[in-house]
């Protein structure tokens, strides 16, 4: 197993790795809308989603991967009423066929954010 560390995504805010790679499969920890340079969080869920997708791009880029390498996403929302915003972001971020996806509502997320997305990618 290989540890992944990059400044192209926010540093871990706890006892976890940004990601790990095992046999060509990349497991990236959940990303929240923190800006990697300032570690600040915009309160708007749409802006958080944009920043999260940018953070995911940074993780992928650090491993010479592309969005097409993503095979599974898991999305955590504090309000399922924001599900439509996720779908809109997906339409502009991914091309068909879309990766597999799970989406659940949770009572709270780190740093008071409204959405968190984790991805699994493969070569």
Please name which of 26, 75, 19 lies closest in space to residue 49, comparing C-alpha atoms. Answer: 75
Interhelix angle for 45-62 vs 83-93, to 10°?
40
- Catalytic status, residue 113: no
Question: CB of 56 within 8 A of CB of 120?
Answer: no
Question: CB of 123 within 8 A of CB of 69?
Answer: yes
* Catalytic entry in 4, 20, 89, 103: 103
- Residues forming the active site: 103
């Amino acid at each position: 197993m290989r540890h992944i560390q990059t400044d192209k995504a926010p540093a871990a805010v706890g006892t976890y790795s940004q990601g790990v790679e095992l046999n060509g499969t990349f497991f990236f920890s959940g990303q929240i809308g923190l800006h990697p340079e300032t570690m600040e969080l915009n309160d708007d869920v749409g802006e958080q989603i944009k920043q999260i997708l940018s953070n995911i791009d940074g993780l992928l880029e650090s491993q010479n991967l592309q969005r097409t390498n993503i095979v599974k996403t898991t999305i955590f929302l504090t309000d399922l009423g924001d599900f439509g915003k996720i779908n809109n972001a997906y339409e502009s971020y991914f091309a068909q066929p879309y990766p597999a996806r799970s989406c659940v509502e949770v009572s709270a997320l780190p740093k008071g954010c409204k959405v968190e997305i984790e991805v699994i990618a493969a070569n």
